[in-house]
Amino acid sequence: MLLTKKRALALSAILATSALALTGCSGAGGAKQDVTLTLATVSNPQMKDMEELKGEFESANPGIKVNFVQMEEGDLRAAVTADVASGAGQYDIVTVGAYEVPQWGANGWLQDLTPALKADATYDVEDILPPVRDALSVDGKQYAVPFYGESSILMYNKEMLAAAGVTISNNPTWQEVATAAQAVKDQGIADSGICLRGKPGWGDLFAPLTTVVQTFGGSWYDMDWNAQVNSPEFTEAVTFYKDLLANAGQADPVSYSFTECLNLLQEGKTAMWYDASVAASILEDAKTSKVAGKMGYAHAPTYKTAESGWLWSWNLAVPESSKNKEAADKFVLWATSKDYQQLVGKTLGWTRVPPGARISTYEIPEYKEAAAAFAPITLEVMSSVNPSQPGVNPQPWVGIQYVTIPEFQDVGNQVAQLVADAIAGRISVADALNKGQEIAQKAGDAHKK
């Protein structure tokens, strides 16, 4: 009994080793230049679709495998920053937000994609939405290609506004929006007239609030990197935002960001919402949204500027430290090509086509039909925003709802906390912004020439 057991063990061990050796041989003898690309990405639905479809790329490009590493936005930012900054070369393709692309490009961390994009005739680089391309380029060199992009729009419940007897034009002013929100709230049609982000964070509260500041004539910095946080225009904008929240906004604003406002609007507890255009596709999904078909969409509300929408894109880039740049370029071009959009539309459904990157997306008949409610306004807004000068005054960086200096996450976050204190009434807006001015100036000083 014991002997046979031992013998069986020995036999299986021999079998296992020879099997290992055999597979090792076949691996070495087969495709010699097998490459596995590691792609770090944010765990958003569009990225998951990309992973689902990567097999198509792999079968069209034998010898290249793509390995996805999905992370939450904050983790991704930290992991990718550490990797590209130290030149560790762990990732061959990285997903980078519009905020980082110009900074990392200028630092020499990302490969200049311009030659690769021009070399591929079918890719049609001119088809990429011009404002998005501008935001991803430094001195004419494009360091990343957009996978999908978004702007900010005003979304409103048509039935509620009709019940309150107010209308919203296609290019509303903030005053118009405030009046409408007040009417909804005063007549008790909904608990609140409008939902706006109040959760402290540079990407939460300050995404919409920076666009408000800019259309009110304010800015984070002037052309010489002097902080402008306690300027009269910045103060007026924050006071307006705070008053609008207090008079007609949702209760407990500090708890609210994108997801929370989305829920509130879907549940029919608020009449308007100013946020990312990508929300429209969720609101129009009849399976999950109670307000599908009842929504109207308008440009971002303005005051002193013609447009006030923000501009964001998630982009694919190849770090300079990657050891498989050629294969990585191939994948990046594939995932952002016109053919990829067709592939998503045909296999996963037309509403899942990544929006806001290419003009031609909005010319696909099936997409136009599937996204009729929000596609035209998205294209309209995204083509009309100006990331080089979104506000009244010129600014020394390209970008709308952020400042492309490394310190901005930190500055925006700290000032957002102060503004949240002001929204809660613990300190005055003036005090909050005076403190914010100091924080912003310290960061600005580092960039003075």
Query: 429 near 238, Cβ under 8 Å?
Result: yes
Residue closer to another protein by CB (options 175, 255) is 255
Asked if residue 406 binds another protein (CB under 8 A), the reply is yes
Token pair 């806001």 is found at 356
* Least gap, CB of 393 to another protein (angstroms): 26
Out of 269, 285, 290, 363, point to the residue binding another protein (CB under 8 A). 269
Residue closer to another protein by CB (options 56, 407) is 407
Radius of gyration of the chain (CA): 25
* Least gap, CB of 254 to another protein (angstroms): 4
Q: Which of 198, 195, 216 is nearest to 207 (CA)?
A: 198
* DSSP, residue by residue, 10-74: HHHHHHHHHHHHHHHHHHHHS-TT-EEEEEEEE--HHHHHHHHTHHHHHHHSTTEEEEEEEE-HH
* Least gap, CB of 81 to another protein (angstroms): 6
Asked if residue 420 binds another protein (CB under 8 A), the reply is yes
Residue 128's beta-bridge partner residues? Answer: 358
Query: 378 near 277, Cβ under 8 Å?
Result: yes
225: left (phi over 0), alpha (psi -120 to 50) or beta: left
Asked if residue 74 binds another protein (CB under 8 A), the reply is yes
Residue closer to another protein by CB (options 143, 147) is 143
Stretch that binds another protein, among 75-83, 164-172, 212-220, 380-388 (CB under 8 A): 75-83
Find all residues with CB under 8 Å of 336, minimum gap 6, and list them: 145, 146, 147, 316, 357, 358
Residues in 81-120 that interact with another protein by CB under 8 A: 81-82, 85-86, 103
- In the chain, the amino acid numbered 288 is T
Count of residues making up the chain: 449
Asked if residue 424 binds another protein (CB under 8 A), the reply is yes
Asked if residue 421 binds another protein (CB under 8 A), the reply is yes
* Least gap, CB of 78 to another protein (angstroms): 6
Buried b (16+ CB within 10 A) or exposed e, 216-237: bbbbbbeeebebbbbbebbbbb
* Least gap, CB of 350 to another protein (angstroms): 33
Out of 52, 267, 339, 445, point to the residue binding another protein (CB under 8 A). 267
Cα-flanking dihedrals φ and ψ of residue 307, to 5°? -130, 160
* Number of neighbours of residue 198 by Cβ within 10 angstroms: 27
Token pair 């090792």 is found at 24
Residue closer to another protein by CB (options 134, 410) is 410
Q: What is the rounded distance in angstroms from the CA atom of residue 59 to the CA atom of residue 57?
A: 6
Tokens of 427: 């300190």
Asked if residue 200 binds another protein (CB under 8 A), the reply is yes
Q: What is the rounded distance in angstroms from the CA atom of residue 349 to the CA atom of residue 440?
A: 45
User: What binding mask, one character per residue, do residues 274-313 give for another protein by CB under 8 A, x or -?
Assistant: ----------------------------------------
Pairing of strands 35-42, 64-71: parallel
Asked if residue 10 binds another protein (CB under 8 A), the reply is no
Out of 133, 185, 197, 199, point to the residue binding another protein (CB under 8 A). 199
Asked if residue 413 binds another protein (CB under 8 A), the reply is yes
Residue closer to another protein by CB (options 254, 282) is 254
Asked if residue 396 binds another protein (CB under 8 A), the reply is no
Asked if residue 124 binds another protein (CB under 8 A), the reply is no
* Least gap, CB of 345 to another protein (angstroms): 35
Residue closer to another protein by CB (options 267, 363) is 267
Buried b (16+ CB within 10 A) or exposed e, 29-59: eeeeeebebbbbbbbbebbebbeebbeebee
Asked if residue 201 binds another protein (CB under 8 A), the reply is yes
User: What binding mask, one character per residue, do residues 30-69 give for another protein by CB under 8 A, x or -?
Assistant: ----------------------------------------
* Count of residues that bind another protein according to CB under 8 A: 34
Q: Which helix (H) or strand (E) holds 379?
A: helix 375-384
Asked if residue 432 binds another protein (CB under 8 A), the reply is no
Asked if residue 198 binds another protein (CB under 8 A), the reply is yes
Q: Which of 399, 432, 390, 397 is nearest to 414 (CA)?
A: 432
Asked if residue 428 binds another protein (CB under 8 A), the reply is no
Residues in 224-263 that interact with another protein by CB under 8 A: 250-255
Chain positions contacting another protein, by CB under 8 A? 74, 78, 81-82, 85-86, 103, 191, 198-202, 250-255, 264, 267, 269, 406-407, 409-410, 413, 417, 420-421, 423-426
